[in-house]
Amino acid sequence: MGKDVIIACDFATAEDTYAFLDNFSGRKPFVKIGMELFYAEGPSIVKELKSRGHKVFLDLKLHDIPNTVRKSMMVLASHGADIVNVHAGGTTRMMAAALEGLEAGVPADGERPLLIAVTQLTSTDQDALEEDLLIEKPIDQVVMHYALNAKMANLDGVVCSAQEAEKVHNICGKDFLTITPGIRFADGDIGDQKRVMTPAAAKEIGSDYIVVGRPITQADDPVAAYERCCNDFIG
């Protein structure tokens, strides 16, 4: 899979998601499904999106004891998603167990989904890290350490802010994928995101996939906004 724009389909129901994606007529964007939609609709939403021709990033961010994550990943492997993820904070052992489960659970005729680690959530800042989690290190050092742990566990990459993508590539190698949310057009609303970057800047810095939600889903013309992202990011 090469560089692509992933639309964060943060809708409450499958019906709303399909209605939104029907606007794209011939095009089949890569989509991200989060916990809210998956918990409401179950595995059928992944299967349906795949049968409609979309690639699917199933963003469930697993974080539990290694045995539970391994067994859960065995189940998730059968749903047909293209990318799944875990929290790097669950330890290197947990990430390795996740990969083991995925490999064991892939159907004979299927492909293993890419396995990505969330480093630190963008909602966690330096104060929260120190005061709430008692981690007394600079946040970018923690992010890079978690990225290296993910690499050691043979994961395929990390979710990180676009600002961190270049450093992650320098430390973990160019083939280690960086998936970057927090993307905004220069003339658009920032909303609740803190550290944002334009699709063009994310391309420049070497991000592999950008995850874009509201700048596309809430646009007056979502298809035009998606095309603009693709032009700016993929070229």
Figure out which of the listed residues 96, 168, 212, 225 binds ligand C5P, where binding follows CB under 6 A. Answer: 212
Does residue 194 carry a catalytic annotation?
Answer: no
- Compare residues 71 and 145 and give the one whose CB is closer to ligand C5P: 145
Which one of the listed residues 55, 61, 194, 203 is annotated catalytic?
A: 61
Nearer to ligand C5P, 56 or 70 (CB): 56
Quick one: which segment of 67-75, 95-103, 201-209, 210-218 binds ligand C5P (CB under 6 A)? 210-218
* Of positions 5, 7, 8, 88, contacts ligand C5P by CB under 6 A: 8
User: How many CB atoms are located within 10 Å of the residue 1 CB?
Assistant: 12
In the bound state, the residue with its beta carbon closest to ligand C5P is 213
Q: Would you count residue 116 as binding ligand C5P (CB under 6 A)?
A: no
177 contacts ligand C5P (rule: CB under 6 A): no
| 207 near ligand C5P (CB under 6 A) | no
Cα Rg of the chain, angstroms: 17
Asked if 188 interacts with ligand C5P (CB under 6 A), we say no
Rounded to the nearest whole angstrom, what is the least distance from the CB of residue 211 to ligand C5P in the complex? 5
In the window 156-175, what residues touch ligand C5P (CB under 6 A)?
159
Active site residues: 61
Positions in the binding site for ligand C5P (CB under 6 A)? 8, 10, 34, 121-122, 159, 181-182, 191, 193, 211-215
